Amino acid sequence: MLMTAATGGIMQQPLHAGRTGWSGIHRLLLLVMSAVIIVLALSTWHTDRLVRTFTAQIDAIMTVRLQITESHLWLEEIVSGDEGESQAGVFVLIDQAALLLQRLSGNGRDHDDPIEMQEQRLRSELAVTSGTLTTFRSLARERLEGTEGAVGSALDQRFDDTYEGLQDSLMSLETDLQDVMQRSLKRFVWQQALMIVALAGVFVWILMLLRRKEQQDQDEHVRDLQKSYAELETSRAELARQNARRALIMQVSDNLQGIEDAEKMADILLQFLCREGNAPAAAFWINDPEEGLEPLTGYALDSDHFNASREDMNDGPVGQAVRLGKPVVMDVPGRYLLISSASGEAAPAHIRVLPLVHDGVVVAVAEFAWFSVPDEDTLHLFETVLTSVAVRFQLVLRRRYQGQLQMA
């Protein structure tokens, strides 16, 4: 029963077998994983946007080239006398090509056109190409409206040269645009790679923190186990001490069993307590209901201590213990008490007077002397033993008083 009481508090305490819930590190890990997902999503979106933008720009340039080529062919056929082609159709193609070039340069009707070029070098090339296209359109109109635009004429030669220059400009623009696209994609890939490496580094760092936290939790768990084990051992030691104390009390009770002489009982009691509590000296008084305090026996005390007058005892710490019914503690005043031994006498440093109380009546008083202040465990032993034998002394003293009355 005592073991259960001693260890129950320990067993009921929860051991830190692991931490539950979301700690700050777990939240940080979740944040990083969310960031990785967001980065991957943004990467996919941005890559698709780059590809779609550059593809639309390249398609626009190729369309311009096609439209210029068709307008050139149609015009040559018209000049050669083919009436199946429309002059208006030639300029429609040229105007459509001009509109696409305007959109590529950012001068179209729509604000932030999705095919608008952002590179300044490409926009400069577009300006030159647009100028060449304007010249090409003017020469086309001169050939169709004038009389000097026949095949092989100087105007025809200028027209063809402008056409060739326009095609070269468009091809150069397309090549430069592809280069820009490759560099943009490569730069974007490097940026994403660096970001992924950075996120991976943070992820590894968080994993290290988690591992360290796990190790700390394990260490704390081990410390808790060690602490619980130490508390259990302390409880076992306390239980063993209490069992030993009970055995001592039972031993005293057994030694006093059957003894009817109060002085002999007191001698056995003092010898036992002085031996177990390292008290070098002790004295024992009985409290006569009629006569008051009466010295009964002593242990390693000088005889003068018992020769004090009854008035001195009543006024001293022994009498005080009787009046209060409680222990009296004092430092030794002068030569109040001397401890006798084969080598001489010595004054103790600490005196404690303990009353034997039963049913509210002080039956006797035991006085103990030490050269130093005893520990609490020793004092508890003394009080427990004296309390347990108080009733026995009361019975023996009652028989003694009755015998004295009968003799009287």
- 165 and 309 belong to one structural domain: no
Domain presence at residue 4: no
pLDDT of residue 203: 78
The CA distance from 23 to 86, in Å, is: 77
Model pLDDT for residues 383-393, shown as the tens digit of each residue: 989 998 898 88
Number of domains in the chain: 2
With respect to residue 247, please indicate whether it lies within any of the assigned structural domains: no
pLDDT bracket for residue 9 (50, 70, 90): very low
Choice among 84-93, 147-156, 350-359 with the minimum mean pLDDT: 147-156
Mean pLDDT score, 183-204 = 82
In which domain, by residue range, is 293 found? 260-407
Per-position DSSP letters for 67-127, written without gaps between them:
HHHHHHHHHHHHHTT-TTS-HHHHHHHHHHHHHHHHHHHT-SSSTT-TT----HHHHHHHH
Percent with pLDDT over 90 in the chain: 18
Residue at which a domain ends, from 190, 216, 242: 216
Q: Tell me which range, 147-161, 251-265, 383-397, is most confidently predicted by mean pLDDT.
A: 383-397
Whether residue 18 lies inside any domain: the answer is no
Write the DSSP symbol of residue 13: S
Please give the full DSSP string across 166-233, using - where no structure is assigned.
HHHHHHHHHHHHHHHHHHHHHHHHHHHHHHHHHHHHHHHHHHHHHHHHHHHHHHHHHHHHHHHHHHHH
Whether 177 and 285 map to the same domain: the answer is no
Contact 129, 183 (CB under 8 A): no
- CA distance linking residue 272 with residue 16, whole number of Å: 48
Is 45 a domain residue? yes
Q: For 275-290, write each residue's pLDDT tens digit.
A: 989 999 899 988 887 7
Give the end of a domain, one of 189, 216, 243: 216
**Residue 149 binned pLDDT confidence (cut-offs 50, 70, 90):** low
List the CATH number of the domain containing 388. 3.30.450.40
Q: What is the pLDDT of residue 301?
A: 73
- Whether residue 147 is found in the same domain as residue 267: no
How far apart, in whole angstroms, are the C-alpha atoms of residue 20 and residue 11?
21
Write the pLDDT tens digit of every residue in 109-144: 555 667 788 888 888 888 899 999 999 999 888 888
Interval 208-234: pLDDT, tens: 888 888 888 899 999 999 999 999 999
321 is written with which tokens? 């213990």
Residues 280 and 174 placed together within one structural domain of the fold:
no
Per-residue confidence (pLDDT) for residue 135, from 0 to 100: 92
Nearest to residue 362, comparing CAs of 318, 300, 302? 318
Residues 95, 107: Cα–Cα separation, whole Å: 14
Kind of pairing between the strands at 344-346 and 350-358: unpaired
Could you read off the pLDDT of 25-37 as tens digits, one per residue?
Answer: 667 767 777 777 8
Give the range with max mean pLDDT: 232-236, 256-260, 295-299, 348-352: 232-236
pLDDT 10s digits, 359-383: 889 999 999 989 888 999 889 889 9
Report the length, in residues, of the chain: 408
pLDDT of residue 6: 42
Please say if the pLDDT value at position 184 is more than 90: no
CA distances from 44 to 23, 38, 48, 200, 203 (A): 32, 10, 6, 18, 21
Does residue 250 form part of some domain? no
